[in-house]
Structure 1
Amino acid sequence: MPSPSSPTAAESRRVIGFVNAGHFVDHLLMLVFPTAVLGMADEFGLGYGELLGLSLGGFIAFGAGSVPAGWLGDRWSRRNMMVVFFLCMGAAAALTGLARTPVQLAAGLAVMGLFGAIYHPVGTALLTAHAHALGGRVGREIGINGVWGNLGIAVAALATGGLTQGFGWRAAFVLPGLFTIGLGVAFLALVPDGLAPVKAAARTVGRLPRAVVLRAFSVLAVTTVAGGVVFNAATLALPKLFDERLSLLTSTPLGIGALVCAVYGIGATSQLIVGRLVDRHTLRSIFIPLSVLQAPCLILAGYASGWGLVAVATVMMFTIFGQVTINDTMVAKYTDDAWRARAYSIRYLISFAASAVAVPLVAVLHDQGVGAFPGGFTLVMLVLAALGGSIFLSSLAFPHRPDEVAGTVPAAAE
Structure 2
Amino acid sequence: MNGSDWSVVKFTMVGHALFHAYELSIPVFIIIWLDIFTTTEAFLGLIVGVGYAAIGIGAVPSGILSDKYGSNRVVIVALLGMGFGFGLISISPNIVVLALALAIWGISASLYHPAGLSLLSRRIENRSTAFAYHGVAGNVGTVLGPLLTSILLIFLPWRSVAALSVIPTLVGISIAFKLPLGEKKAVEKKKNGTAVYRELYEDTQILVVSGFPIIIAAVLLYGLYYRGTLTFLPQILLDAPMFNQITLFGYTLNPTQYIYTALLTAGVGGQYAGGRLTDVVKAEYALILAFVLLVICALAFVPILTTGFISLIIMCILIGFVIYLTAPIYQTVIAEHAANGTHGLSYGYTYLGMFGIGALGAPLAGTALSYMSTRVLFLALAGIAGLAGMVSIYLLVWKQD
TM-score range, shorter chain: 0.7 to 0.9
Shift of 1:121: 3.3
1:322 aligns with 2:325: yes
**Residue 238 of structure 2 aligns to which amino acid in structure 1?**
D
- Letter of the structure 2 residue corresponding to residue 218 of structure 1: P
* 1:312-338 residue CA offsets vs partner (Å, 9 max, x unmatched): 221122121122223334455666897
Contact kept? 2:80, 2:169, Cα under 8 Å: yes
Q: Does 2:245 correspond to 1:242?
A: no
Q: Pick from 134, 153, 165 the counterpart of residue 126 of structure 2.
A: 134
> Counterparts of 2:227 and 2:109 in 1: how far apart (Å)?
15
**1:227: which partner in 2?**
222
Question: Which amino acid is 1:389 matched to?
Answer: G
Whether the aligned pair in 1 keeps the contact of 2:37 and 2:94 (CA below 8 Å) is: yes
Deviations 1:57-115 (A, max 9, x none): 31232232222112223444333322221222122212221111211111111100000
**Counterpart in 2 of 1:312?**
315
Aligned 1:144-183 pairs, distance under 5 A:
148-183=137-172
Counterparts of 1:280 and 1:145, CA distance in 2: 25
* CA–CA distance in structure 1, aligned partners of residues 278 and 181 of structure 2: 32
Whole-angstrom CA distance in 2 between matches of 1:130 and 1:217: 31
Equivalent position SS for 1:99: coil
Which residue pairs with 1:360 in the alignment?
A: 363
1:63 has 2:28 as partner: no
Where structure 1 has 5 or more consecutive residues not aligned to the other structure, the ranges are 1-7, 200-209, 370-375, 401-411
Alignment of 1:85-104 (within 5 A): 85-104=78-97
1:289 — aligned with what?
Answer: 289
Who is 1:389 aligned against? 386
Alpha-carbon shift at residue 146 of structure 1 (Å): 5.5
Q: Match of 2:304, SS? A: coil
Residues 1:28 and 2:21 aligned together:
yes
Q: Closer, same or farther in 2 for the Cα pair 1:36/1:332, shift >3 Å? A: same
Report the equivalent of 1:408.
Answer: none
Alignment partners' CA distance in 2, 1:330 and 1:13 = 32
Matched with 2:114 is 121
Question: Any unmatched runs of 5+ in structure 2?
Answer: 189-204, 247-251
Residues 73, 240 of structure 1: alpha-carbon distance in 2 compared, 3 angstrom cutoff:
same
Letter in 1 for 2:293: L
Question: Cα offset for 1:151?
Answer: 4.3
Q: 1:77, 1:31 → 2: CA distance?
A: 28
C-alpha contact (below 8 Å) 2:287/2:330 kept by paired residues: no
Opposite residue 107 of structure 1, the aligned amino acid is L
- Pairwise mapping of residues 189-268 of structure 1 onto structure 2 (< 5 A)? 189-190=178-179, 192-195=181-184, 214-245=209-240, 247-248=242-243, 254-268=254-268
1:122 is matched by which residue type in structure 2? A
**CA 135–161 in structure 1, closer or farther in 2 if over 3 Å, else same:** closer
Which amino acid counterpart does residue 213 of structure 2 have in structure 1? S
* Secondary structure at the counterpart of residue 185 of structure 1: helix
Judge which range, 173-182 or 360-369, deviates more.
173-182
Which residue number in structure 1 is paired with residue 197 of structure 2? none
- Please name the residue that 2:191 is paired with: none
Work out the CA distance in 2 between the residues paired with 1:339 and 1:152.
30
- Flag the 1:52–1:399 CA change in 2: closer, same or farther, 3 A: closer
Give the alignment's TM-score, normalised by structure 1.
Answer: 0.78
Tell me the matched-pair count. 377
Cα-to-partner distance string for 1:337-394 (whole Å, 9 max, x where unaligned):
977555433222222232331222111111102xxxxxx2111111111111122223
Does the C-alpha gap of structure 1 residues 283 and 30 become closer, same or farther in structure 2, counting only changes over 3 Å? same
SS in 1 for 2:170: helix
Q: Aligned equivalents of 1:324 and 1:212: distance in 2?
A: 20
Relative distance call for 1:188 and 1:389 in structure 2 (3 A) is farther
Residues in 2 aligned to 1:37 and 1:349: alpha-carbon distance in whole angstroms? 24
Query: SS at the partner of 2:267?
Result: helix
**For the residues of structure 1 that align with 2:123 and 2:331, how far apart are their CA atoms?**
15
Alignment partners' CA distance in 1, 2:244 and 2:14: 33
Q: How does 1:371-410 map to 2 (within 5 A)?
A: 376-398=373-395
Q: Deviations over 1:4-51 (max 9, x none)?
A: xxxx67766664554344232112212333211222344323344444
Are 1:39 and 1:168, in contact at CA under 8 Å, matched by a contact in 2?
A: no
Check the 8 A contact 1:130/1:197 in 2, yes or no: no
Q: State the AA in 2 paired with 1:328.
A: Q
- The one-letter code sitting in structure 2 at the alignment partner of 1:167 is L
- Residues 137 and 29 of structure 1: is their aligned pair in 2 closer, same or farther, counting only changes over 3 Å? closer
8 Å contact from structure 1 (residues 215, 399) kept in 2: no
RMSD: 3.6
Secondary structure in 2 matching 1:302: helix
Query: Aligned residue for 2:353?
Result: 350
Deviation at 1:301, TM superposition (A): 1.1
In 2, are the aligned partners of 1:87 and 1:180 still within 8 Å (CA)? yes
- Partners of 1:277 and 1:338 in 2: how far apart? 26
SS in 1 for 2:386: helix
Distance 1:344 1:294 in 2: 23
State the Cα distance separating 1:299 from its structure 2 match. Answer: 1.0
Alpha-carbon offset, residue 270 of structure 1:
1.4
Distance in 1 (alpha carbons) for counterparts of 2:75 and 2:257: 29
Note closer, same or farther for the CA distance 1:307–1:333 as it changes in structure 2 (3 Å cut): same
My pick for the range that moved more, 276-285 or 345-354, is 276-285
